Structure 1
Amino acid sequence: MNLAPAWQISKENRMNSYAFTLCGTRCQALPSGALWLPEAGTLCVSDLHLGKSDRIARRSGVMLPPYEVQETLDKLADDIGATDPRQVICLGDSFDDLAAAGSLDRAMRLHLSSLQAGRKWIWIEGNHDPGPVDLGGSHLSQIEVGTLSFRHIATSATAEVSGHYHPKHRLAGRSRPAFVVDAKRIVMPAYGAYTGGLDCMSPTIRQLFGPRAIAILTGHKALAVPLA
């Protein structure tokens, strides 16, 4: 991995993001947990899990504040405003289940439609949302952008960007959602407001990466630390 200059992004996010090159494609890990590919004009987010509070209410009867959809879409609107992408990739588990996708209220559907307007929007199939939803955009199992392949769950392939595991890393006693990156792949943090996480050092995640892997912690500033 090599540090790369940052382009086409707001000054604040440029200063707080972490830039690197993966398999010849220049990338920026944004402090929000989104991945920005400046040369491709592509913004990628993973594991939004929209409608999780609705799904929990349906299955358990436990009522949670229904604000996670608004909070997640507002954060996404900020990243879209900062980068003005030509393409947005939602890297699977965008909805907590297919019923949650269908139950979005009219205001949230309009909010999402406004974010989609004027740009290509790709829904990658996840294990929570394995089929199409009636919300515009294209539905794919994976997509290639530049030298990189985008899919929901990591495989043995090189030059791969995936999500699914919701990695988190603990630093100074605080656990934060994190990208995990080495010379072959990226596993994205969960972007949604109501998502848990799996420690980056767990065998499930660690076995995917080489000894020089790094975690890029999200928060006010994207902070890279070695996993070794």
Structure 2
Amino acid sequence: MNVLLQQTLSPARSVCGGLAVRVAGEACVLRCSGTLHVTGPDVLVFADLHLEKGSAFAVRGQMLPPYDTAATLARLAAEVEAVRPRAVVLLGDSFHDRAALARLSPDDRDRLHRMAEGREWLWLEGNHDREALNPADVLDLPGTVVGDMRLGDLFLTHEPAPGIDAPGEVAGHLHPAARVAAYGRGVRRPCFVTDGARIILPAFGAFTGGLNVRDPAIAGLFGVAPLVAALGRDKVHALAWETVR
């Protein structure tokens, strides 16, 4: 990591095994789960749950194990319980398609309501779920549906703006992943990518996959070599750009 990036991010190990950094001057923790905890306002941010992706594939005749929503919501509940934030923000593509809410089981719907109880709960619209979220009040979804939003000096949105000039942007959509050499073999892990001015979050959902950070769609968003923060089992690993492939 170059000196300027080190000064901008001020990285430090968090007690949870995550990485404490500053993005646009705001204190944040990159958590091992792939969530972003903005500590000042106490907001926990998730990206790209893609709930009901398995059932969407099943409708089209491609059979995937129908457990992705339950697995993702179990991880979501564990994170909310561990952090107990004042507010939760979901950065869009929380649902995989326009009919996903209708396919959500009553048990999964109840679990969402329990998680949202006693805290602010905000759904940002993504390209996959913009239409799904329109009738949210009819389909009894907890919380509030919003477009983009400001959080201090941060700007929370689903899809990153093109170009390198997006100060304070916190986005998902691209599902960044990094490939590194370890123990004589290649390991591919979801990751955060940040230059201290903006940050791209990894996808949180069970069936989401990932796009290599070297892809121009991600690499082209940064004017300087960014920090890649790969998710490990109990630690977020800070990786220099030149070490990822």
- TM-score grouping bracket, smaller chain normalisation: over 0.9
Instruction: Tell me the matched-pair count.
Output: 221
Structure 1 runs of 4+ aligned residues shifted over 6 Å read none
Q: Which of the two has higher C-alpha Rg?
A: 2
Q: In the alignment, which residue of structure 1 is the partner of 2:236?
A: 222
Distance of 2:215 and 2:74 partners within structure 1? 31
Distance of 1:93 and 1:15 partners within structure 2? 27
Distance of 1:204 and 1:4 partners within structure 2? 25
Distance of 2:108 and 2:63 partners within structure 1? 19
1:219, CA displacement in angstroms?
A: 2.4
Q: Which residue identity does 1:195 align to in structure 2?
A: T
Q: In the alignment, which residue of structure 1 is the partner of 2:5?
A: none
The percentage of counterpart residues that share the same residue type is 39
Distance of 2:69 and 2:224 partners within structure 1? 37
Q: Give the TM-score normalised by structure 2.
A: 0.86
Q: Find out whether 1:76 has 2:97 as its counterpart.
A: no
Q: Which residue identity does 1:140 align to in structure 2?
A: V
SS in structure 2 at match of 1:14: coil
Deviation track 1:110-143 (CA, whole Å, cap 9, x = no partner) reads 1111111111011000000013233121111111
Distance of 2:17 and 2:198 partners within structure 1? 22
- How large is the Cα RMSD of the aligned pairs? 1.4
1:5, CA displacement in angstroms?
A: 6.5
1:186, CA displacement in angstroms?
A: 0.3
Distance of 2:221 and 2:168 partners within structure 1? 13
CA contact (8 A) 1:22 1:185 kept: yes
CA contact (8 A) 2:86 2:119 kept: yes
Task: For structure 1, list consecutive stretches of 5 or more residues without a partner in the other structure.
Answer: 7-12
CA contact (8 A) 1:201 1:227 kept: no
Task: For structure 2, list consecutive stretches of 5 or more residues without a partner in the other structure.
Answer: 1-7
Q: Give the TM-score normalised by structure 1.
A: 0.93
CA contact (8 A) 2:12 2:19 kept: no
Q: Which residue identity does 2:241 align to in structure 1?
A: L
SS in structure 2 at match of 1:109: helix
Distance of 2:36 and 2:16 partners within structure 1? 15
